[in-house]
Amino acid sequence: MAGLPLKGALSDEQLPIVENGGIIMVDEKIHAIGSYPQIQAEANGLNAENINIQTNMVCLPGLIDAHTHICFGGSRAKDYALRNSGKTYLEIAKAGGGIWDTVTETRKATTSSLIEGVKTRADRHLTHGVTTIEVKSGYGLSVQEELKMLRAIALAKEQCQSDLIPTCLAAHMVPKDYKGGPADYLLEISTSLFPILKKEQLAKRIDAFVEEGAFSPASIAAYFDKAKAMGFDITVHADQFSTGGSGVAVKYKAVSADHLEASSEKEIQLLAKSNVVATALPGASMALGCNYAPARRFLNAGAALAIASDWNPGSAPMGNLMVQAAVLGAFEKLSNTEVLAGITYRAAAALNLQDRGILKTGLLADFIAFPTNDYQEILYQQGMMPPSLVYKKGKLAVNI
């Protein structure tokens, strides 16, 4: 994936392919990459261990899931059934389901059970080739409960082979048991929680759900002002059911604006002219039965497009990144290169990470290998061809 632009459309003719390739790994990073005969002499000079794969395989950078909610308690199978019976997402939420149901179950959960849940889901993601996973809080919705979630994510990170990138989503919604209004809640979180995040290094990223029934562009302004002043990266749940969030993302120079199913031409052009990565979440569209983010139009307008799973217990319970990316590609007519870019180096940009997502000297030795001699088979199989080998920081993590 080296040498491709961050923004705009990509054709498969642009995809650089190294035939009969080899990689030299030193201290968790890629030391050299190229054709096997070219680098064999250098490897011999380093007295390197030689791992010679005899079967035909296609090697890609480790996949990056830039938007998940895999720290949670409970299940929302009932919500899924109600949606399929005709109830809307907002109707279910008003009746006590939705995010608040997961908040209730997550608050009941012990720290150890949250850790175990994150580990289990992260390990499943790893078998599918996802070596870096963003993980949000947002089901605690109080200072102490958000801390419980973020501390659980930090502890799970120590026990996972994958890299977990924590994000504070305390601004998911105003908790139903909170006595004040949105401004009071956001002030309490920014005043009491943000300093602890800094002190304990629990998160470098602040997210908010800018949407009807959550937070308006006006109400979130002071919250993001405080986050920016304290040096946090900003990301936004934007334009899922109504527009407005993408404008907030551009205003605050967010690293990404995620969802975007409701984005019109105005929002597409706004994001394309910015450095905000547009992150499509096809899993949410699949589970909610709604339109996909207009990925083709974003790319044609010159935006950077990432693709993430939104793995969560309510609106995106499947969590298989490759399946979702392949389906989005079919519906939005994306080239293989555009899809693969969206789950590798463009997803890395959505997390403000410059050390992964590309197989290149000096970057992390995160890579995966699929049992085929044609890279087009990977998306053609729509997620049903898992990688046979997964390397994380130069160490073999999965061998099927």
Domain that holds residue 113: 63-350
- Mean pLDDT for 14-38 is 93
CA distances from 176 to 75, 94, 167, 172 (A): 19, 11, 22, 12
pLDDT (0 to 100) of residue 168: 99
Higher pLDDT, 37 or 358: 358
User: Do residues 168 and 146 lie in contact, with contact meaning Cβ atoms separated by under 8 Å?
Assistant: yes
- Total tally of structural domains belonging to the chain: 2
94: confidence class by pLDDT, cuts 50, 70, 90:
confident
User: Do residues 279 and 67 lie in contact, with contact meaning Cβ atoms separated by under 8 Å?
Assistant: yes
- Residues 141, 52 share a domain: no
292 pLDDT more than 90: yes
Residue 4 lies in a domain: no
Residue 208 lies in a domain: yes
Provide the CATH number for the domain around residue 282. Answer: 3.20.20.140
- Residues 161, 70 share a domain: yes
- Mean pLDDT for 85-98 is 84
Residue 5 lies in a domain: no
- Residues 35, 119 share a domain: no
Q: What is the DSSP string of 167-192?
A: EEEEETS--TT-SS-HHHHHHHIIII
pLDDT (0 to 100) of residue 228: 98
pLDDT (0 to 100) of residue 78: 92
State the average pLDDT for the chain. 96
Question: At which of 331, 350, 369 does a domain end?
Answer: 350
Residue 2 lies in a domain: no
pLDDT (0 to 100) of residue 97: 86
Residue 137 lies in a domain: yes
pTM over cut 0.85: yes
- Residues 382, 315 share a domain: no
- Residues 281, 144 share a domain: yes
pLDDT (0 to 100) of residue 334: 98
- Mean pLDDT for 192-217 is 97
The tokens describing 228, both together, are: 């920016």
Q: What is the DSSP string of 290-304?
A: -PPP-HHHHHHHT--
Query: How do residues 114-138 score in pLDDT, each as one tens digit?
Result: 999 999 999 999 999 999 999 999 9
Residue 107 lies in a domain: yes
Provide the CATH number for the domain around residue 28. Answer: 2.30.40.10
152: confidence class by pLDDT, cuts 50, 70, 90:
very high
Residue 176 lies in a domain: yes
27: confidence class by pLDDT, cuts 50, 70, 90:
very high
- Residues 81, 45 share a domain: no
User: Which residues are 312's β-sheet partners?
Assistant: 316
Residue 380 lies in a domain: yes
The residue count for the chain: 400
pLDDT (0 to 100) of residue 38: 87
- Residues 146, 126 share a domain: yes
- Mean pLDDT for 291-301 is 98
Orientation of helix 111-127 relative to helix 143-159, angle to 10°: 50
- Residues 305, 211 share a domain: yes
53 pLDDT more than 90: no
- Residues 170, 67 share a domain: yes
Query: How do residues 207-239 score in pLDDT, each as one tens digit?
Result: 999 998 899 999 999 999 999 999 999 999 999
248: confidence class by pLDDT, cuts 50, 70, 90:
very high
Question: At which of 350, 369, 389 does a domain end?
Answer: 350
Query: How do residues 308-335 score in pLDDT, each as one tens digit?
Result: 999 999 999 999 999 999 999 999 999 9
- Residues 366, 338 share a domain: no
pLDDT (0 to 100) of residue 122: 98
- Nearest CA to 227 out of 187, 174, 199, 256 is that of 187
388 pLDDT more than 80: yes
pLDDT (0 to 100) of residue 198: 98
The rounded distance, in Å, linking the Cα atoms of 135 and 142 is: 18
- Residues 146, 172 share a domain: yes
- Mean pLDDT for 356-363 is 97
pLDDT (0 to 100) of residue 88: 84
Query: How do residues 252-291 score in pLDDT, each as one tens digit?
Result: 999 999 999 999 999 999 999 999 999 999 999 999 999 9
- Residues 363, 301 share a domain: no
pLDDT (0 to 100) of residue 49: 86
